[in-house]
Amino acid sequence: MSEVSEQLLKGTTKEGQRPAALMLEDGTFFTGTACGATGEVYGEICFNTSLEGYLEVLTDPSYAGQIVTMTYPQIGNYGVNPEDAQAARPALSGLVARDVCACPSNWRSSVSLPDFLRQSNVVALEGVDTRALVRHVRDHGAMRAVLSTEDVNPESLLAKVRASAPLVGENHVQRVSVPEKRQVGAEQLPKSHSFAVAPAAKARYKVVAYDCGAKESILHNLVRCGCDLTVVPWNTPAEEVLAMQPDGVFLSNGPGDPEAVEGTYSQVEKLLGKVPVFGICLGHQMIAKASGAEIEKLKYGHRGGNHPVMNLRTGRVEITAQNHGFGLVWPSLGPLVPALSGGFRNHQPDLCFWARSRKAPVVDNPRFGRIQLTHVNLNDGTPEGIAFLDVPAFSVQYHPEASPGPTDAHYLFTAFTRLMDGREDYLDIDIADDRLAGWSFGSADGAAVAGAVEGRA
């Protein structure tokens, strides 16, 4: 840092910051200043395009093993409310931002973001040209990186990062899953959210949730829709789950390479056809793996709160929240069934073809019969959702609970309750009707809102 820069920073919240550096495995190097804990961390570099929700991003267990770059130029301006956290502690490796605000302004804030990062032992870097960093990752793909406040020597850092372990093949789920089963009920819903969210519906469904790194808000959405929730470790035997006699089984989001999570998808194979199943993100990939599908690593993944996805069954477009670096290879589930795929016999390389054709194609899966492609990403034509037609199961690649992000996909929680009710039309819900279900926004009639949601489900 130049002498002029140091003079300008004196008397500001940026005074006294120590230098820090980020090195990518291809030799791309960035310098800035430390704005969190001190140390040296390794992980896969990725980026999130959300304009808000930085605390939810920081505490999402799905980021285990990754260094997250926020594309929005300033984060931290509304501070931190711990009740918005998605887990007890952050699981990500590190954070990179253009500017981190140390003086938040928000009535719900109890601590600044830099203080939270230090308290949570998260190594963070600011002062980086995040536009250049994100363009580089977008063009060259995700790669290993090292973030350090202790070593800013390019040659030393490059040698270290090239010797570090890759994300592929690592089972990060086992370190973010619960060690033993636990209950989640209405009494555990954050009280500070009651100004905007109606009380939970009466519990009517007994649901077992596999915790592969579940976000708390996803579990809370299940509770709000009337689920009595038992959360179990990622590798719980299917026989133990079935012995609980659940009305449904939920498969959560989670981090890392799905190929390494055999302890979950091998159990899912035993559950499909015996109990209604709903999967989100990694849970979607677990259902796909249980069906014999291939999973591919995406060039740089989908992470943010503004990704357009078309529901092929309704033709409606949802703006979705996403966080994943791997995805289902749709043709690997089986050959198309022409009679249920608009007469088409061949798989298409770009799934946006089905969005343009307004068709929801169906394949013949050798393990579980007919499976329908229900959702497609309109940015890159990757699969975002599937529904089984011969067994009660469905899944989506994105995060419908909107933490952070829009509420367009909230209907999927309602759909799960309808699936458990045995309704064949469980997915045929107008998102415009369901988008604000369960919100009260300060209304004194919150209980009436919850009752309406329960009745519609």
Give the whole-angstrom CA distance, residue 341 versus residue 249.
29
Question: Other C-beta atoms within 10 Å of 38: how many?
Answer: 13
CB contact set of 398 (below 8 Å; sequence gap of 6+): 280, 281, 302, 307, 309, 320, 321, 322, 375, 384, 385, 409
Q: Is the peptide bond before 308 cis (omega within 30 degrees of 0)?
A: no
Residue of 25, 44, 216, 401 marked catalytic: 401
* 394 has binding-site annotation: no
281 is catalytic: yes
Q: With contact defined as beta carbons under 8 Å apart, do 292 and 369 qualify?
A: no
180 is catalytic: no
* 17 has binding-site annotation: no
* 327 has binding-site annotation: no
CB contact set of 340 (below 8 Å; sequence gap of 6+): 361, 362, 370, 372
* 62 has binding-site annotation: yes
Give the pair of three-digit tokens for residue 293.
């599908």
* 252 has binding-site annotation: no
* 119 has binding-site annotation: no
* Tokens 């037609």 sit on residue: 389
* 326 has binding-site annotation: yes
* 282 has binding-site annotation: yes
Closest to 133 measured CA to CA, from 1, 32, 28:
28
Residue of 35, 281, 324, 410 marked catalytic: 281
35 is catalytic: no
Q: With contact defined as beta carbons under 8 Å apart, do 78 and 55 qualify?
A: no
Q: With contact defined as beta carbons under 8 Å apart, do 93 and 121 qualify?
A: no
Q: 229: left (phi > 0), else alpha (psi -120 to 50), else beta?
A: beta
Give the whole-angstrom CA distance, residue 114 versus residue 348.
47
Sign for the CA dihedral angle at 377, 378, 379, 380 comes to: positive
Binding residues: 62, 254, 256, 282, 285, 323, 325-326
Residues annotated as catalytic are 281, 399, 401
Binding residues for L-glutamine: 62, 254, 256, 282, 285, 323, 325-326
